[in-house]
Amino acid sequence: MSLTGQKPSIQVWDPLVRYGHWALVVAFSVAWLRADDESGGPDQVHVWAGYAVGTIVAVRVLWGIAGTRHARFSDFVYSPATALRYLGDMLRGRGRRYVGHSPAAAYMIAALLLCLAATVGTGLIAYGDTGKGPLASAGSLVIAGAHAEERGAGRRGESEAGIAGDLHGALANSTLGLVVLHILGVGLASAVHRENLVRAMFSGRKRPGDGD
């Protein structure tokens, strides 16, 4: 207990969570801003930013299994009912405070990681269609197969890789929508609990909960 009667802050987010989070923000932003070059296709900066997003998401998933206490997925497993009740309470300005991720944050994090992984995956397939990237040969096979089918059916339809490219764009837009909701949620939780969650994502430190 300090002289002001407040308990000293505790370490909640480990360095991998914090650096990973802000690296993800930078990588996603760069990939988004460099989505189209003059020819309408992806440029090298977009591609490498996408690889970075994929790598960060993969490392974060492994860290969710083997990481520190509040980084582990098992630390923030809540039923949908708990998350909805928490959201309702928050909108009325009286949600319970969690030191780790809240029930609503837990679902948002799952949605963000899934959407980011699917965006990277479809991007890799679409890039493979252009004969580039790690899925270049797989992509060419898909296209060759799709073209053969089209010839067989006597029509020219949309190829698999075209679908992958469209899906990639739709998933990137969905991720951006989630990011907007995520930032609004962080703002709401910071206001309701009178704590700066953005600063905590930099320092890793938060004021302890009742049980800490």
Interface residue list for ligand HEM (CB under 6 A): 17, 20-21, 24-25, 28, 60, 71, 101-102, 105, 109, 112-113, 179, 182-183, 186, 197-198, 201
Nearer to ligand HEM, 67 or 162 (CB): 67
Q: Residue 87 in contact with residue 108, Cβ under 8 Å?
A: no
Nearer to ligand HEM, 20 or 95 (CB): 20
Tokens of 143: 């296209």
- What are all long-range contacts of 183-187, with beta carbons under 8 Å and residues at least 24 apart? 185/104, 185/105, 185/108
Q: How far is the CB of 40 from ligand HEM (least distance, A)?
A: 24
Q: How far is the CB of 61 from ligand HEM (least distance, A)?
A: 10
Q: How far is the CB of 212 from ligand HEM (least distance, A)?
A: 15
Please, is 121 exposed, middle or buried when counting C-beta atoms within 10 Å of its C-beta (0-12, 13-18, 19+)? Answer: middle
Nearer to ligand HEM, 25 or 62 (CB): 25
Q: How far is the CB of 45 from ligand HEM (least distance, A)?
A: 16
**Cβ within 8 Å of residue 160, ≥6 positions away:** 125, 129, 142, 143, 145, 146
**Cβ within 8 Å of residue 51, ≥6 positions away:** 120
Nearer to ligand HEM, 109 or 138 (CB): 109
